[in-house]
Structure 1
């Protein structure tokens, strides 16, 4: 660059500035003294910061609003999630679930060579974990097995070969008319009296030996039954809400898993749900313990066989198969694929082999009543 020096200092300054501008124009800086590399770095950082902020907003929205659905007329139609998005969400949710403990490593070997695995007279503490919409009638075989005097009284009241009055086959009626301290095995106690069937979650009882007894149900079937039963647990007061709207509510899913881990089925508020951590491995380990009996609603006959092989007695058709409230069964092929992935699905899939291993050991696999 050649600069002509003038006698006037003002002219000299002007020509120097003009020369710098021309040089900047040739270099593509438009007169700016900022280096090109610095400007590119700033642009790169700003772009990535904006992308990260958009991703954060998307994640926040997903966290507080599960995929929604709406109904149009008599047809069910998805309204807020395309098939591509549903596939993406499903894959992501599945990969983030806690790893399950293999059933073989957590299942305790049980010896059913004796007439019963446990002598019922030695059972002193019973926790009946009544999960909503899984089978409240399970209390009948429990009560009559451990309270044989009550069963004998009911048999005597109706005469030989007659069925027990159906009005008497409810947990609250039995507990009121046959107080356990008088009619059950010596020193037997039901936890959570006077209403042991009021959907109490699992709790530890230090320094006490107790048996947990419950029935689990296919998670999707249980959701459908709860929906049909007045939208059980729903935060909404809309009796016309769709099944899809019902399962979108954050507190509805994982009920069985939550209860095994010591939480209420669905009484949490949004903040409690966000802070809740569901340990699938711990839940598998807990139900596999020898003092934790569980059956499966969809396999009721096998469950009754296993129960009596565990605690003794015979399968009683008028008691063990009495259904106080017939649940709603999910229509074949409907809505099952539309239930969002959740941890209870993984947990239930892991405990079925534990159940079947117990059935096989007790010779109850594929059992059907005579």
Structure 2
């Protein structure tokens, strides 16, 4: 009887689920299987406020082109930035260099529940000290590379290297892709935090599959929250399911589009890759995808259960 009840609940979960990234009937079937395996585990997860307290101060692992807009989800968590006099961190509230302005001038005074990580896109550094406090979103590595390439020269002049970068000649895509391959792996395993990962001037050493395996282990074991850029809305809902607080309209807005008019929900044409594939970061992304899928099941995240959250979208 108990087994039949679990199966019925799982089927109801599947019927309510509408996850479209990566296809998918295959994904939906896998989520159903996980639901059956993990049934009953959610009762052991504890309360959102307990999970948040255990993870504070949060350390935002921010990969380039994986979602600057996530900052507005971070500041919305209860107690992370108590009394913050901003409803959104964007160009309207803090100017075109809103990211640097927030982390250097606002965050230190208002956000005791998170570390004010600056400069952006830092390498992880001391992983042991940050284990269990890491939060971040990951993106399909080939789409991330295409987004990086198309953002060439589009950013505001917020850093010392900005002007130098704008005077550089944009290389052919394959040359650029080969240079930037394994960027997420590098950022997860590099010790020297002084490097600003992902800038055009950061030439990192080639990453190996062993580096990627270590990076993926850290994703599985060291992150308090893992989201997916491709599943932005579901990731925001999951974030609040795990740590509490209410979804806000600002969390669903793209405050740093790659280029004017670019719809963040539309993938780049992969024919531009000309057969190139970042097989190093694919190992890391697969780990992030696995963690995300598991938590979607554990925290009962679906179109139905997130209806209240999604209702605030513009």
TM-score, normalized by length of structure 1? 0.55
**2-structure distance, mates of 1:165, 1:218:** 25
Asked whether the equivalents of residues 124 and 189 of structure 1 are also in contact (C-alpha less than 8 Å), the reply is: yes
SS in 1 for 2:142: helix
Asked whether the equivalents of residues 257 and 283 of structure 1 are also in contact (C-alpha less than 8 Å), the reply is: yes
Query: Are residues 277 and 335 of structure 1, via their aligned partners in 2, closer, same or farther at CA, if it must alter by over 3 Å?
Result: same
Which residue does 1:190 correspond to in 2?
A: 115
1:265-276 to structure 2, matched below 5 A, reads 265=197, 267-268=202-203, 272-273=205-206
1:117 deviates by: 6.7
**2-structure distance, mates of 1:132, 1:253:** 13
**1-structure distance, mates of 2:279, 2:301:** 31
Q: Which structure has the larger Rg over C-alpha atoms?
A: 1
1:301 deviates by: 0.7
The superposition leaves residues 281-332 of structure 1 with CA deviations (integer Å, 9 ceiling, x where unpaired) of 32222111264322111100111111112221111122x1122111355444
The superposition leaves residues 52-83 of structure 1 with CA deviations (integer Å, 9 ceiling, x where unpaired) of xxxxxxxxxxxxxxxxxxxxxxxxxxxxxxxx
1:361 deviates by: 0.8
The superposition leaves residues 17-52 of structure 1 with CA deviations (integer Å, 9 ceiling, x where unpaired) of xxxxxxxxxxxxxxxxxxxxxxxxxxxxxxxxxxxx
**2-structure distance, mates of 1:283, 1:205:** 10
Asked whether the equivalents of residues 117 and 312 of structure 1 are also in contact (C-alpha less than 8 Å), the reply is: yes
**2-structure distance, mates of 1:364, 1:237:** 45
**Are residue 252 (structure 1) and residue 144 (structure 2) matched?**
no
Asked whether the equivalents of residues 224 and 330 of structure 1 are also in contact (C-alpha less than 8 Å), the reply is: no
SS in 2 for 1:213: strand
Query: Are residues 330 and 338 of structure 1, via their aligned partners in 2, closer, same or farther at CA, if it must alter by over 3 Å?
Result: farther
SS in 1 for 2:149: helix
Q: Out of 168, 176, 179, which is 2:93 matched to?
A: 168
**Are residue 147 (structure 1) and residue 80 (structure 2) matched?**
yes
Which residue does 1:326 correspond to in 2?
A: 257
**Are residue 204 (structure 1) and residue 204 (structure 2) matched?**
no
Asked whether the equivalents of residues 49 and 243 of structure 2 are also in contact (C-alpha less than 8 Å), the reply is: yes
Which residue does 1:137 correspond to in 2?
A: 69
Asked whether the equivalents of residues 212 and 293 of structure 1 are also in contact (C-alpha less than 8 Å), the reply is: yes
Query: Which ranges in structure 2 are unaligned for 5 or more consecutive residues?
Result: 1-33, 155-160
**2-structure distance, mates of 1:353, 1:139:** 23
Asked whether the equivalents of residues 119 and 311 of structure 1 are also in contact (C-alpha less than 8 Å), the reply is: yes
Q: Out of 137, 142, 158, which is 1:220 matched to?
A: 142
Query: Are residues 172 and 333 of structure 1, via their aligned partners in 2, closer, same or farther at CA, if it must alter by over 3 Å?
Result: closer
1:136 deviates by: 1.1
SS in 1 for 2:122: coil
Query: Are residues 167 and 277 of structure 1, via their aligned partners in 2, closer, same or farther at CA, if it must alter by over 3 Å?
Result: same
Matched positions, count: 242
Which residue does 1:311 correspond to in 2?
A: 243
Query: Are residues 355 and 214 of structure 1, via their aligned partners in 2, closer, same or farther at CA, if it must alter by over 3 Å?
Result: same
**1-structure distance, mates of 2:61, 2:244:** 20
Query: Are residues 295 and 134 of structure 1, via their aligned partners in 2, closer, same or farther at CA, if it must alter by over 3 Å?
Result: same
